[in-house]
Amino acid sequence: MTSKTSDLADLGWSTFFSVQLDLQELDSTEPVRVMAVHRNRLLVAGPCGQRDLPPFAAADDESATATVGDWLLLDAASGRTQRLLARKSVFQRKAPGSDRRLQLIAANVDTLFLVTSCNQDFNPARLERYLALAREAGVMPVVVLSKADLSDGSEDFVRAAAQLLPGIAVEAVDARCADSTYRLLPWCGRGQTVALVGSSGVGKSTLVNTLSGSGQLPTQGIREDDAKGRHTTTGRALYRLPAGGWLLDTPGMRELQLSEARDGLEAVFADIVAAAANCRFGDCRHDGEPDCAVTAAIAAGLLDAQRLRRWRKLAAEEALTTQSLSQRRARERAFGKFAKQVMAHKQSRRSD
Ligand SMILES: Nc1nc2c(ncn2[C@@H]2O[C@H](COP(=O)(O)OP(=O)(O)OP(=O)(O)O)[C@@H](O)[C@H]2O)c(=O)[nH]1
Ligand SMILES: [Zn+2]
């Protein structure tokens, strides 16, 4: 495997993955990356090129299904999938519908471009929601402020975005112009995987086209024939960028929800969480309670009252979406128990 490590690095392989292999696996397996997810198959790429595999899933664990960006270990002799490697990062969401199953959107993304424009689209709460999602997924966020060319005050937007999270990278660009988007190249280099989120019209497609250089994304092998013999893309694929990286393009990224993202939210609002630790009551709502450290910090000008309002709203949204997921899991557990009882009952009758 060592001689092919360079090809693997092109695909995004790093020590994070290689340390997961034991000695025997190093000898007898081949790692491949899931480049595209189609209805009944996965397109994977490795040092020996691309090939199709059957979908990979674990019966009892929705999160162990292979998704785009994942790394799989194949048995070198038989070509069979042995296991899914642990992920560096993962985006998931709840499927629409009443039971809201967990859907994996993408794995092993390194950087998330949070795209918003230097105009009325700019909205701190929206950016904070994206920041929390990035944090929860384990992905590095970069705020990309598009339409800088149309604004006289792009520096004001940069400053406002930079205030949302200490140390956050913020780049203002004209998404149509490579002379401007070169600022994003540090995150698009060899083996790096990037994805984009942002509302409609902010310039995501424009940015993708400029970064891909050709005005259109190369579709190398990620098409499949539909029933009429035409080629259709399924929209869950990694695309090669000229800078050596991979761009993940999937519609699912646009519907990301703030579920089970409590840690992510707390990290984005660490200043409020830290202040709240000094409130007299553990369950302080920072709403007129005595000895409330958050209210005191706002009064002293150390915390922004608007930010507290946004935190409350986002925390409520997160709690609501998370609750519906845990209700479903509880239902499933109860059903599993019931099914076991029925089976045990049947068996005991049979042996009577
Ligand atoms: N002047 C200027 N126009 C831009 C810039 N970015 C995007 N546009 C224009 O804004 C419009 C919308 O851009 P899109 O790239 O389609 O936006 P999108 O985010 O992909 O939108 P959806 O596909 O709806 O999600 C297009 O007419 C672009 O040409 C920019 O940085 N500067
Ligand atoms: Zn308080």
pLDDT digits (tens, 9 = 90+) for 272-296: 999 999 999 988 989 889 999 999 9
- Helix or strand (DSSP H, E) at 183: none
Q: What is the DSSP letter of 138?
A: T
Q: What is the DSSP letter of 210?
A: H
- Helix or strand (DSSP H, E) at 52: strand 49-53
Query: Is residue 115 scored above 80 in pLDDT?
Result: yes
Lowest mean pLDDT among 223-227, 328-332, 336-340: 223-227
109-251: CATH, from 3.30.930.10, 3.40.190.10, 3.10.450.50, 3.40.50.300: 3.40.50.300
Q: What is the DSSP letter of 260?
A: S
Confirm or reject: Cβ of 189 under 6 Å from ligand 1.
no
Quick one: average pLDDT of 65-83? 94
Query: Is residue 107 scored above 90 in pLDDT?
Result: yes
pLDDT at 257: 72
Query: What gap in Å lies between CA 106 and CA 237, rounded to an integer?
Result: 9
Q: What is the DSSP letter of 289?
A: -
Other CB atoms closer than 10 Å to residue 287's CB: what's the count?
A: 10
- Helix or strand (DSSP H, E) at 197: strand 193-197
Quick one: average pLDDT of 163-188? 95
Other CB atoms closer than 10 Å to residue 252's CB: what's the count?
A: 19
Helix (H, G, I), strand (E, B) or coil at 154: helix
Confidence of residue 222 (pLDDT cuts 50, 70, 90): very low
Confidence of residue 227 (pLDDT cuts 50, 70, 90): very low
Confirm or reject: Cβ of 251 under 6 Å from ligand 1.
no
Query: Is residue 160 scored above 60 in pLDDT?
Result: yes
- Taking the centre of ligand 2 as the mean of its atom positions, its distance from the CA of residue 324, in whole angstroms, is 27
* Binding site as annotated, residues: 146-149, 198-206, 279, 284, 286, 292
Confidence of residue 86 (pLDDT cuts 50, 70, 90): very high
- Taking the centre of ligand 2 as the mean of its atom positions, its distance from the CA of residue 99, in whole angstroms, is 35
Candidate of 144, 177, 206 to mutate for ligand 1, largest count of ligand atoms within 8 Å of Cβ: 206
User: Which has more confidence, 229 or 291?
Assistant: 291
Please state which CATH number belongs to domain 2-87: 2.30.30
pLDDT at 2: 47
Confirm or reject: Cβ of 206 under 6 Å from ligand 1.
yes
Residue 241 structure tokens: 């960028």
* Binding site as annotated, residues for Zn(2+): 279, 284, 286, 292
- Helix or strand (DSSP H, E) at 265: helix 262-268
Confirm or reject: Cβ of 204 under 6 Å from ligand 1.
yes
Q: Please answer whether residues 201 and 172 qualify as being in contact, where contact means their C-beta atoms are separated by less than 8 angstroms.
A: no
Query: Is residue 94 scored above 80 in pLDDT?
Result: no
Taking every pair of C-alpha atoms in the chain, what is the biggest distance, in angstroms?
A: 85
Asked, colleague to colleague, whether 2-87 and 269-346 share their fold, the answer is: no
pLDDT at 195: 93
Confirm or reject: Cβ of 4 under 6 Å from ligand 1.
no
- Taking alpha carbons only, the member of 7, 4, 19, 3 closest to residue 190 is 7
- Taking the centre of ligand 1 as the mean of its atom positions, its distance from the CA of residue 38, in whole angstroms, is 28
Helix (H, G, I), strand (E, B) or coil at 322: helix
Query: Is residue 31 scored above 80 in pLDDT?
Result: yes
The full set of domain ranges for the chain reads 2-87, 109-251, 269-346
Residue 1 structure tokens: 């495997």
Lowest mean pLDDT among 30-44, 125-139, 218-232, 238-252: 218-232
- Taking the centre of ligand 2 as the mean of its atom positions, its distance from the CA of residue 287, in whole angstroms, is 7
Fold designation for 269-346: Ribonucleotide Reductase Protein R1; domain 1 (1.10.40)
pLDDT at 4: 64
- Taking the centre of ligand 1 as the mean of its atom positions, its distance from the CA of residue 147, in whole angstroms, is 8
Q: Please answer whether residues 251 and 235 qualify as being in contact, where contact means their C-beta atoms are separated by less than 8 angstroms.
A: yes
Q: Please answer whether residues 194 and 245 qualify as being in contact, where contact means their C-beta atoms are separated by less than 8 angstroms.
A: yes
CA dihedral 305, 306, 308, 311 (to 10 degrees): 180
Mean per-residue pLDDT of the chain: 85
Quick one: average pLDDT of 143-167? 94
